[in-house]
């Protein structure tokens, strides 16, 4: 049985849960505070400062947890590591995290610039440029790297039996949604952390049951 074979350490599952919760909070705070359109008027800069500052503060810790999650999963592969999928797994994970960091850093830069020159920022055209860059990074590139990471993780999970096959097949389906959704589904960014949360909770519970036997 898969429950008897499961050896993943608790710390990996906990890291996945922490990453998922913090990223979900950051994305939700950003989504409800910042208009979806990259060509909005910029009024959110003066209205939603506290929410965005909280999101910016939580994101680095989400990134640390995600790196820990990747490290534990790779350690779980051990000698059975498939170099091809392991490379795709690592590369897509690092690219996803880097893009999320860059997009939130640009958002933080916009807020600091608005505090310094509130009137000139929007009129100069730099605001529209920065918002468009953020939109493209998150909704075109980062979300597709998340899809690649999900696909490679599911493939490795099936081979190593880290979690049930139905979760892997669900991950494949969600990866297709992520690949095809940019610009179409406003809340599509939440699909990735919710899936990580699902598998992390499963791995944690299965690990606790295994140790209790």
Please name the residues in contact with 63: beta carbons below 8 A apart, sequence gap of 6 or more: 19, 97, 100, 101
Q: Please give the pLDDT value at position 211.
A: 64
The token duo for 186 is 């406003």
pLDDT at 2: 39
pLDDT at 210: 65
Q: Which residues, given as ranges, of the chain have pLDDT below 50?
A: 1-8
Q: What is the pLDDT of residue 196?
A: 93
Backbone angles phi, psi at 164, to 5 degrees: -60, 155
Residue 81: the pLDDT is: 65
8-state DSSP, 199: H
Q: What is the rounded CA–CA span in Å between residue 148 and residue 40? A: 30
Q: What's the pLDDT at 3?
A: 41
CA pair distance 42, 24, nearest whole angstrom: 23
Q: Where do the structural domains in the chain lie, given as residue ranges?
A: 2-212
Query: Please, are residues 48 and 34 in contact by the beta-carbon 8 Å criterion?
Result: yes
Contact (Cβ atoms closer than 8 angstroms) between residue 132 and residue 183: no
């Amino acid at each position: 049985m898969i429950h008897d074979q499961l050896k993943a350490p608790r710390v990996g599952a906990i890291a996945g849960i922490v990453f998922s919760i913090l990223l979900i909070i950051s994305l939700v705070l950003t989504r409800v505070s910042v208009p979806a359109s990259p060509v909005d008027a910029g009024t959110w800069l003066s209205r939603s400062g506290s929410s965005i500052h909280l999101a910016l503060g939580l994101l680095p810790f989400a990134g640390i947890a995600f790196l820990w999650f990747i490290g534990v999963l790779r350690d779980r592969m051990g000698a059975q590591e498939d170099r091809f999928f392991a490379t795709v797994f690592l590369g897509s994970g690092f690219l996803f995290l880097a893009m999320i960091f860059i997009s939130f850093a640009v958002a933080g830069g916009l807020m600091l610039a608005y505090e310094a020159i509130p009137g000139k920022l929007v009129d100069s055209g730099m605001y529209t440029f920065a918002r468009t860059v953020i939109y493209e990074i998150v909704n075109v590139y980062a979300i597709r790297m998340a899809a690649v990471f999900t696909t490679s993780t599911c493939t490795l999970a099936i081979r190593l039996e880290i979690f049930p096959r139905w979760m892997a097949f669900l991950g494949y389906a969600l990866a297709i949604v992520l690949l095809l959704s940019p610009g179409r589904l406003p809340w599509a960014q939440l699909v990735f952390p919710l899936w990580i949360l699902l598998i992390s909770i499963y791995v944690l519970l299965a690990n606790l049951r295994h140790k209790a036997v």
